[in-house]
Amino acid sequence: MAKYELQHSVPEAQGISSAAILAFVEAADKDIDSLHSFMLLRHGAVVAQGWWSPYAPEVPHVLFSLSKSFTSTAVGLAVADGLLTVDDPVLAFFPEDAPRRVSRNLAAMRVRHLLAMSTGHAVDTTEFMFRRRDGNWVKAFLARPVKYEPGTHFLYNTGASYMLSAIVQKLTGRPILDYLGERIFAPLGIEGATWGTCPRGINLGGFGLNVKTEDIAKFGQLYLQKGRWNGAQLLPEAWVEEATRAHSDNSANEAPDWKQGYGYQFWRCQPRNVYRGDGAFGQYCIVMPDQDAVIAITAGVGDMQAVLNLVWKHLLPAMQPNPLSADVAAHTALEQKLASLEMKWQQGQSSSPVAAQVSGKRFVFEKNDQRIKSVQLDFAGDGSTLTLRDAQGTHKIACGHGVWIMGMTAFDDRFPRRVAASAAWTDENTYTIKLCFYETPFCPTLTCRFVDDQVLYQFKANVSFGPTERPQLTGKRA
């Protein structure tokens, strides 16, 4: 076995039934729209893993706020290296960026307040950092009013995570991706990780990290093993314990798993002694010390609590202290299910009388906030080619009927990214296209309804930080 490969095992050998895992996967298929991947580790071995195609083991997935737990780890390394303590004043690292008048609360803010989301701010600072014209996000953060005494008020504040990244970079002279890369990622065999940066080249800290599902699982296993990996103590055990215990009272939150206490960029969970890192739309690294288990999940869901509910219902109670008797039938059924997982492609008909009338015709839109200029569909064989023109340029996307077709596009983003596309006629006049940007949670649906010499075009997102539905546009045949 290669040095960095995780061991694999039959679930029953590690005290968990294949039937319980199958029930979890089937429930996710039925009730959750949609999981993209999951890995379950018990006693250090992978007992089940699956990817809903076109999501795949070798493809990284954006983590959003699960990135925060990695940032916390970088701080833990810097503390171990003697570069700082969690009681150091935040202002001490950036005297040149301090506001002219420093409030008592800002002066009292310590590194541990950044870690525990108890900086004293009344509003998340991130938006103000984005708006900073000179790109100095540190200065933007320090300029915000600190309403409460630090340590007395929990506020989920992604700007605080960015400040942790900025502090570590200032002390080490390199971005935290490089720092973690040498100290954590290389020993764990995590390769190809990327992390977005601010205009000044500092890793975003609170979001922006992209890794594979197996990398999430390895990270969770490192924490489960209290910072130890392959016989080496990569991260101090004391930091693991300190980072994952509750430091802030977040009981004012409504969702059950968001009110159990907040650690150093980790959340406490409902079940006893379970903690997690998580990110928007269902990116999870769940660590269960009492069960000696780790669960890594990527997803594109609007209801993040629903995913955890399935874990607590199906997986947690199924973990037994001793190995179980072999269950060949259940394990075979589980393996078959895991091998056949697939995101649902667009349902509907592969043809319509309207197709011949609109194929190759370009429909032009008046100026609009979506900056869509024209749309064109070309039908051939078992699919179509969608050509969209917007302010970014021209985007061609091949769409399959009853299958996903893989490609690359910069549509709806600044840079090209991987996409899988499927399409179908959902009624005689309406052609519906489903796009799956399978390095992300985002799988929007585009509809083109043809009426006389016009097309009614609409974009709907599965999940979004804002509205999921954009205004319908009317295009005229050129």
Tell me the mean pLDDT in the region 276-292. 98
Whether residue 2 has pLDDT greater than 60:
no
Question: Torsion over CA of 169, 172, 173 and 176, rounded to 10 degrees?
Answer: -40
Nearest in space to 207 (alpha carbons), one of 164, 267, 250: 164
Range 68-87 average pLDDT? 98
pLDDT digits (tens, 9 = 90+) for 367-419: 999 999 999 999 998 999 999 999 999 999 999 999 999 999 999 998 999 99
Q: What is the pLDDT of residues 140-169, one digit of tens each?
A: 999 999 999 999 999 999 999 999 999 999
Of 197, 208, 194, nearest to 279 (Cα)?
Answer: 208
pLDDT at 1: 31
Where are the CATH 3.40.710.10 domain residues in the chain? 7-338
Q: Supply the pLDDT for residue 209.
A: 98
Is residue 122 predicted with pLDDT exceeding 60?
yes
Which amino acid, residue 240? Answer: V
Percent of the chain clearing pLDDT 70 (strictly above): 99
37, amino acid identity: S
By C-alpha distance, which of 386, 391, 390, 476 is closest to 431?
Answer: 386
Count other Cβ atoms within 10 Å, centred on residue 346: 22
Is the confidence at residue 201, as pLDDT, over 80?
yes
Largest CA distance in the chain: 72
Torsion sign across C-alpha atoms 174, 180, 183, 186: negative
Query: Average pLDDT of 95-115?
Result: 98
Reply yes or no on domain 353-477 having CATH 3.60.10.10.
no
Closest among 263, 290, 291, 289 to 277, alpha carbons compared: 263
Q: CB-hemisphere CA count at 13 Å for 156?
A: 17
Angle, vertex CA 205, rays to CA 51 and CA 221, nearest 5: 45
pLDDT tier for residue 5 given thresholds of 50, 70 and 90: confident
Q: Taking residues 57-75, report their average pLDDT.
A: 98
Angle at CA of residue 428, ends 347 and 467, nearest 5°? 60
Type and span of the H or E element at 347: none
CATH 2.40.128.20 maps onto the chain at 353-477
Q: How does the average pLDDT of the chain come out, rounded?
A: 97
Locate all alpha helices (DSSP H) within 81-195, ordered by sequence.
104-108, 111-115, 126-131, 137-143, 158-172, 176-180, 186-188
pLDDT at 3 over 60: no
Using alpha carbons, list the distances in angstroms from residue 192 to 206, 212, 330, 382, 387: 19, 9, 36, 35, 31
Across 122-133, average pLDDT: 97
- The CA distances from residue 287 to 151, 188, 220, 265, 444, in Å, are 26, 17, 6, 14, 31
3-class SS at 193? coil
The helix, strand and coil proportions of the chain, stated in percent and rounded to the nearest 5, come to: 30, 25, 40
Helix (H, G, I), strand (E, B) or coil at 132: coil
User: What percentage of the chain carries pLDDT values higher than 90?
Assistant: 98
| pLDDT digit string, tens, across residues 331-375 | 999 999 999 999 999 999 999 999 999 999 999 999 999 999 999
Domain 7-338 is found in CATH 3.30.470.10? no
Specify the pLDDT at position 312: 98
Q: How far apart are CA 342 and CA 340, in angstroms?
A: 6
* pLDDT of 465 over the 70 cut: yes
